[in-house]
Structure 1
Amino acid sequence: MALAQAGYEKATLWVMEANVRARRFYESNGWHSDGSVKQDETRGFVLTEIRYRRVVN
């Protein structure tokens, strides 16, 4: 993984809570939700995102 070659030990990403397909993809590739959630209301409606993390190999 390019991140490991650059010296990173961990990676973080945010994914939309409602995007079940993307969440399954990340989970099947070693990403895990760490329980952190944020909500974005800047567009006039609530978008909920879940933080995923994984160790970089």
Structure 2
Amino acid sequence: MLEALTPWWPDVAAFLRMGRHGGYVWAAFGACALAVALEAWVLWRPAPPGNALAADEGGAP
């Protein structure tokens, strides 16, 4: 079981290179992390005062 937890790469630089695909992998990872952070920030901010959804507190009858 512990063999499965042993990394196969010799050092951190090899892990970051990911077999010459590191640029694509880390760029995609960064883009996804940025999208998730941006979505969390947009959802966290209060709604603008002129927003119809913010004015409608009870929803449709």
Does TM-score exceed 0.5, indicating one fold? Answer: no
Q: TM-score range by the shorter chain?
A: under 0.3
Q: Which structure's CA Rg is the greater one?
A: 2
| Bigger fraction of residues in helix | 2
